[in-house]
């Protein structure tokens, strides 16, 4: 008869992958950081549109106006809120 090897099972206390091996604040910080990165990436198209608007004003393609800038900013914020919902950034 052939001998078979059985794996030695480690208890949860000695395992590297036990849930208690990583303290809760580290996990919470990692999740918060990941959410922040995700929100920044999702908001990138809106940041690009804002930068393009600013560049167009600098080049004189769009009239330099505080009211126009305010309206554009509000429109972009509304679009970001509508598109991303809870993932949208808040000022």
Q: What is the DSSP string of 15-80?
A: -TT-GGGS-HHHHHHHHHHHHHHHHHHHTHHHHHHHHHHHHHHHHTSS---HHHHHHHHHHHHHHH
| Residue 53 confidence (pLDDT) | 97
Q: Is 6 part of any domain?
A: no
Domain count, the chain: 1
pLDDT (0 to 100) of residue 67: 97
* Domain membership flag for residue 73: yes
Q: Would you state the structure tokens that stand for residue 91, as one six-digit string?
A: 């000022």
Whether 56 maps to a domain, the answer reads yes
CA pair distance 74, 48, nearest whole angstrom: 15
- Domain membership of residue 5 (yes or no) is no
**pLDDT one digit per residue (tens) for the chain, 91 residues:** 556 555 555 554 555 555 566 677 888 888 889 988 988 899 999 999 999 999 999 999 999 999 999 999 999 999 999 999 988 887 6
Q: Which domain holds residue 75?
A: 24-87
Residue 35 lies in a domain: yes
pTM of the model as a whole = 0.64
Residue 43 lies in a domain: yes
């Amino acid at each position: 008869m052939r001998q078979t090897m059985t794996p030695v099972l480690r208890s949860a206390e000695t395992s590297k992958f036990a849930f208690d091996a990583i303290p809760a604040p580290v996990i919470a910080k990692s999740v918060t950081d990941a959410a922040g990165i995700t929100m920044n990436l999702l908001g990138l198209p809106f940041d690009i549109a804002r930068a393009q608007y600013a560049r167009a004003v600098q080049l004189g393609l769009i009239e330099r106006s505080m009211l126009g800038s305010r309206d554009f900013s509000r429109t972009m914020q509304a679009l970001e809120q509508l598109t991303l919902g809870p993932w949208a950034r808040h000022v």
